[in-house]
Structure 1
Amino acid sequence: MDHRPALVLTEDGSYTLYNRVLGEHYHSIHGAVQESRHVFLEAGYRYICEKFRDISILEVGFGTGLNALLTLDASVKAGVNTRYHALDPFPPDWSVVEKINYCSHGGMEGFADDFRKMHQAMPDKEILLRANFTFSLSRSRLEDAGPRLGKYNLVYFDAFSPETAPELWEPGIFRKLRLIMDQGGVLVTYCAKGRVRRILQEAGFSAERLPGPPGKREMLRATANEL
């Protein structure tokens, strides 16, 4: 069996990958780029930019790097200082990702070299992609990540689904995330399951349902309460 992710064209003309082992797509088949823009950029990054001057992001589930690429574009346009730290123990190989068309989709042509640098970055080494944007990728699981994680005011929770990766949706995961987040910081995820919302609330967040991207009715945004 070929375990390499398969390239899949989604409805907005952008590609995603299909994990043959897990039987799950990395993004919505209704539109990879439009889903990431809706969930992570609009409900997360642009929203938090109104609350904090300097943005420190933790992404759980780097995957194809689409969220990081879109955030880089948004930070350059907004002139917002952004530190981006992604976690993914098994990111797809560059030989697969380089076939994806993100950098020729929606005015992203100027970021092709940055996209490559993200994927080829040495693990845990912070690199400067723009004067106001730093990036690092840890090839480790959130469960194993130590104190070097630091503090964050925005979390992109883009793990595989609770059905596919249930260990990433347990109460201990969200309690850990709350401890490394600033009060008033925000976590956004495509998942809107009632169980996940309740776990977030029990972990110290105020969780709200928002309209989801095309093909999905709702998503979640959670704000870190005072500890």
Structure 2
Amino acid sequence: MTATDATPPIRLLLCDDHAVVRAGLLALLSSTAGIEVVGEAGSGEEALAMAARVRPDVVLMDLQLGDGMDGVEATRRLAFGAGAAAEDPAPRVLVLTMFDTDADIARAIEAGATGYLLKAERPEELFAAIRNAAAGRTALSAPVADRLMAQLRTPRPALSERERDILQQLARGLGNREIARALFISEATVKTHLGRIYGKLGVDTRAGAVAVATERRLLG
């Protein structure tokens, strides 16, 4: 086989806000046949700008990127072609993260991620996931796939009208006492409803509840 007949390598862009992590991934992937790291980014904004320049096939994206744009928003913009020339296909985005909560997984998939991989995976699993993502195939860590299947088997119940009211107040940044005053209920009742809201949305923080509610358009 001649050089011109060879399949070109997968062009990969790394996005992680930790320089040590990027260095480790670069060292690991640089010696992998069929994969070429064409750039590194330490923020979502940098990933968008670099992707527009180097035109990667796959972006390996962390979810937590410090200050500024997070990995979910960067994934959405990359997956839907923001910042790329109209004639260029959008890169596939493969999430590589330590976080495997239902809310994180749902937000990333809804944002257009082709796959969701955990950083605890073996290198061979990472290589296979990159190749699958480049080919347009879904790539999921086994624990992530299990969680998605569990969600499909047991869909979460809808929010009640009162829970939606509390969620609206939560999105405004109100604390429990302020929510109680606004809705003319006790603070203990607010806490009870919040617990139910967290359970239904698969989150464990106020910010997580607002993020998932925003993604699912529950605040309109």
TM-score by length of 2: 0.37
Greater RCO (CA < 8 Å, at least 6 residues apart):
1
TM-score by length of 1: 0.36
- Structure with the higher fraction of residues in helix conformation: 2
